[in-house]
């Protein structure tokens, strides 16, 4: 397993900043992906959802305006949600930390420390 942790990070998010700080304080090597500037591909999102063991819909931030205006109340299948997440990276829950084949959503931020075990 790689020692590097990939962190899908939004520096404007307090939870994402807290997760990054916790990893750095623990001495982890962190590869930061600013996913709003460099959005993950649909294939990458599908892999991440698989690593998290969740449905694509569970990765959607439902408080975002784009969700409320374009997706709320819609019955999309998994492919539809992956398309939505790829088209609108702001919908992606954050932060997401990945190490090897394991991934966690850093909510609360301390969850990212589970990858250090």
Please report, for the chain, the start and end positions of each structural domain, with discontinuous segments joined by +.
Answer: 1-35+94-117, 40-92
Q: Which CATH topology does 40-92 take?
A: Glutaredoxin (3.40.30)
The 10s digit of each residue's pLDDT in 34-72 is 999 999 999 999 999 999 999 999 999 999 999 999 999
Average model confidence (pLDDT) across the chain: 96
The strand ranges marked E within 1-117 are: 4-9, 29-34, 96-99, 102-105
pTM of the model: 0.94
Q: Which CATH topology does 1-35+94-117 take?
A: Glutaredoxin (3.40.30)
Domains 1-35+94-117 and 40-92 share a fold: yes
Give the pLDDT confidence score for residue 1 in this predicted structure: 52
pLDDT band for position 84 (cuts 50, 70, 90): very high
Give the pLDDT confidence score for residue 117 in this predicted structure: 83
**Of the candidates 29, 7, 27, the residue with the CA atom closest to the CA atom of residue 17:** 7
25-42 exposure pattern, b = at least 16 Cβ within 10 A, e = fewer: eeebebeebebbeebbee
The 10s digit of each residue's pLDDT in 16-26 is 999 999 999 99
Positions annotated as catalytic residues are 13
């Amino acid at each position: 397993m790689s020692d590097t942790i990939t962190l899908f990070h939004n520096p404007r998010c307090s939870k994402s900043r807290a997760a990054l700080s916790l990893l750095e304080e623990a001495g982890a090597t962190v590869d930061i992906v600013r996913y709003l500037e460099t959005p993950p591909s649909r294939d990458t999102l599908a892999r991440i959802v698989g690593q998290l063991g969740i449905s694509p819909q569970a990765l959607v931030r439902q408080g975002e305006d784009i969700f409320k205006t374009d997706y709320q109340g819609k019955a999309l299948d998994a492919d539809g949600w992956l398309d939505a997440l790829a088209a609108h990276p702001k919908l992606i829950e954050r932060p997401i930390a990945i190490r090897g084949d394991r991934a966690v959503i850093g909510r609360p931020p301390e969850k990212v420390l589970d990858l250090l075990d």
